[in-house]
Structure formats: structure tokens, C-alpha cells
């Protein structure tokens, strides 16, 4: 990690933006819409707990986006956003989920790739 970014893709994976979009919108996976608005037409009923992700690819680098997905609490300790790729130091994690990140390294890279296209 350098500053507020993780510049190296997790596990050396190459992200696929269209898979990333599906993961982000999937209510059983990223479920980003519960907190974020995204620039997609349709009845998505997004929440507004987090900032609108429109234009995020122009505001943040891939590395900055990656860090925010891996563990937003590094930069915003009281954040409501889940740490999508962290397994240490989490409290109240159900037995079956312990030791497993919410998204895999590949899935994180896919979502990073999709967010980079939002400009
Ligand atoms: C439970 C609510 C919640 C969920 C779910 C959530 N986020 Fe967030 N997110 C936030 C909040 C709140 C912030 C604002 C910064 C902070 O307070 O942590 C944020 C910040 C961000 C940022 C930085 C935005 C900026 O302008 O700096 C990105 C990128 C982001 N989220 C992407 C995602 C993606 C992609 C997903 C799904 C994989 C997701 N978030 C899921 C609440 C959430």
C-alpha cells in the first residue's frame, strides 16, 4: 500500500469490467446499490448512504479504488462500507464466513475495472 492506494492488482488478476458490473449490482455479492447510486438507467432503487459513484473513474485512480474496496476503514475508520477483501480484525463474523473475504481477488479486480469505466 502506498498512500491511499494499492497500486498492484490483487493476486496479479486482470479485471473484467462487465463481470465487475454484474458483481457490483448483484444483491448477494457486492450489493453496492444498497448504499451507492451508479450511472445506470432502470429501476435500481439505490441507497444514498455512500457517495454517487458516477464519474468515480475520473476522480480516483485504479489503485485508490482498489484500496477503498479492500478496506475503506484504512482511510475512514468509522465507515459503514464493508471491507470487501479483509479477513483480520473483523468482529461478529458468522462461523461459516470466518477467514473468507466478501469478494475474491478476481472479483475485486473486476469491480475495479468496471468503476474505472465510470467517467
Ligand atoms: C453499507 C454501505 C456501503 C456499501 C454496501 C458499499 N459502500 Fe462504498 N462507500 C460507503 C460510504 C459511506 C462511503 C463514503 C466514505 C466513507 O464514509 O467511508 C463509500 C465510499 C466508496 C468509494 C469512494 C468514493 C469517493 O468518492 O471517494 C467507492 C469507490 C466505493 N464506496 C465503492 C463501493 C462499491 C464498488 C461497493 C460494492 C462492491 C460499495 N462501495 C459498497 C458505503 C457503502
Q: Ligand 1 pocket: which residues have CB below 6 Å? A: 24, 30-32, 34-36, 49-51, 53, 56, 59, 65, 68-69, 72, 76, 79-82, 84, 111, 115
Cβ neighbours of 78 (radius 10 Å) = 5
**Test site for ligand 1: of 22, 35, 118, most ligand atoms within 8 A of the Cβ:** 35
Residue 47 lies in a domain: yes
Q: How far is CA 106 from CA 43, 75, 92, in A?
A: 28, 23, 25
**What is the CATH number for 112?**
1.10.760.10
pLDDT digits (tens, 9 = 90+) for 48-90: 999 999 999 999 999 999 999 999 999 999 999 999 998 776 6
| Separation of alpha carbons 78 and 98, rounded Å | 22
pLDDT digits (tens, 9 = 90+) for 3-42: 899 999 999 999 999 999 999 999 999 999 999 999 998 8
Domain around 72 = 15-84+104-116
3-state helix, strand, coil in the chain (%, to 5): 40, 0, 60
| Separation of alpha carbons 12 and 88, rounded Å | 21
Residue 41 lies in a domain: yes
Number of domains the chain is built from:
1
Whole-model pTM: value is 0.93
Residue 111 lies in a domain: yes
Nearest CA to ligand 1 atom 17: 79
pLDDT for residue 41: 86
Amino acid at each position: 500500500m502506498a498512500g491511499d492506494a494499492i497500486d498492484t492488482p490483487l493476486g496479479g488478476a486482470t479485471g473484467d469490467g462487465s463481470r465487475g458490473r454484474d458483481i457490483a449490482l448483484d444483491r448477494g455479492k457486492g450489493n453496492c446499490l444498497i448504499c451507492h447510486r451508479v450511472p445506470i438507467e432502470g429501476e435500481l432503487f439505490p441507497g444514498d448512504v455512500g457517495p454517487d459513484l458516477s464519474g468515480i473513474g475520473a476522480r480516483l485512480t485504479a489503485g485508490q479504488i482498489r484500496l477503498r474496496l479492500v478496506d475503506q476503514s484504512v482511510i475512514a475508520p468509522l465507515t459503514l462500507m464493508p471491507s470487501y477483501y479483509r479477513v483480520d480484525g473483523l468482529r461478529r463474523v458468522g462461523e461459516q464466513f470466518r477467514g473468507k473475504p466478501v469478494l475474491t481477488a478476481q472479483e475485486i479486480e473486476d469491480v475495479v475495472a468496471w468503476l474505472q469505466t465510470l467517467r
